[in-house]
Amino acid sequence: MKKIIPNGLSASQLTGLVKKHGSPLFVISRSKLASNIRRFRSLLPRVEPFYAVKANPHPEILKVFHKEKSGFDIASQGEMETLRTLGVPTERMIFANTVKKSDVLKFACVNKINLMTFDSEYELDKIAEYAPGSRVVVRIKVTNVGSVVELSVKFGTEPADAIPLLIKAHRLGLKPAGVSFHVGSQCLQAENYIEALEVASIIFRDARLKQLPLELLDIGGGFPISHYNHEKDYFSEMAPMINREINRLIEPHIRIIAEPGRSLVGPACTLVLRVIGKSIRANKHWYYLDDGIYGTLSGLLFDHCKYQYNVLRKGRTQISTLAGPTCDGLDVISFTEELPELELNDLVYINNIGAYSLAHATNFNSLPKAKVVAVD
């Protein structure tokens, strides 16, 4: 019986890909990307996904989501240009960076990308000057308790200031369009969404009383994935509670979008590494791999991620250390992995690594980044 890797590849396919393309190798599953966005829509039927391009901007990923009619959350001119090259219509983009450069606002205006977020008066003034007439969405600060990556410290205005800011937007000739929030990345508590929806619904009611015709609610990202095989499916458990509160609090005519990144791309990618060195240090096996913290495993630092390291070799396990290929002592991947004794050229693979990993990777020590291959 052939061994099946959790993303659908068999062990023989995995080794065959490495034999053909070398390592480190970053494998994107197109079918998994498509099933992930369909699953998102089935779990949250009132919510339109706008994929957060920053999570992984590889063109093969963007092509799949474009084919699936996804919207896109963009944060830079480079992301806009990439999407325009792929033929994504501007009405399927939201410029969701609350601090935008003036020249990029001009670019967005010229290219009719006119839906964007803000969270301060200074940003409103800038938008009014460089992208006049834009539709603006106020981002509010909400609870991020229990989320792996806290975002409310840096982004979001106080909810009490949302209506005054939207009124100012109207006076500046902009078009107040709605409200957005973000509960924090890899959010494991449905309560964060429930509380944020309560706050947003109050703002919508107040806006209606003040004759501000808001039409859009952006519930951000943060939808969690499982990094380990034994973890439960947090998102599917949270979705019914989120749906219930959406239907209770948000009127049917309000368009609802979200900015999922990790939940769409994370489970669709696998990183395959090779053992390039081996030693015994402090009575423990150390295995040196051909990618590490300065490369595709950068999520360990920048995204607070934890990964499951899998091997094809069998045997009795012992606590081992995995390290990356650079000359920096920081480049240690894990000190506490239960692994059978590995040999040079053995493969180590990591599933659920599609989000942020490749986007953060560097060429430190002039080491090449992992080669990317897309499979069906």
Contacts 24+ apart (CB under 8 A), 18-22: 18/272, 18/274, 18/347, 21/371, 21/373, 22/371
SS3 of residue 227 by DSSP: coil
CA pair distance 218, 70, nearest whole angstrom? 15
**Other CB atoms within 10 A of residue 362 CB:** 12
> Which long-range CB contacts under 8 A does 14-23 form with residues at least 24 apart?
14/270, 14/272, 14/312, 14/347, 14/349, 15/312, 15/347, 17/272, 17/373, 17/375, 18/272, 18/274, 18/347, 21/371, 21/373, 22/371, 23/272, 23/273, 23/274, 23/290, 23/291, 23/347, 23/370, 23/371
Residue appearing with tokens 């590849």:
9
Q: Which of 112, 86, 151, 87 is nearest to 95 (CA)?
A: 112
- Given a contact cutoff of 8 angstroms between Cβ atoms, the answer to whether 44 and 257 are in contact is no
And the tokens for 330?
């920081």
Which H or E element spans position 137? Answer: strand 135-139
Which of 235, 230, 134, 132 lies closest to 176, judged by CA? 134
Which of 109, 187, 305, 327 is flagged as catalytic?
A: 327
Which residues share a beta bridge with 143? Answer: none
Question: Known catalytic residue: 327?
Answer: yes
CA distance 265 to 282: 38
**Closest Cα partner for 359 from 62, 97, 9, 32?**
62
**Residue 170 burial (C-beta neighbours within 10 Å; 0-12, 13-18, 19+):** middle
Active site members: 327
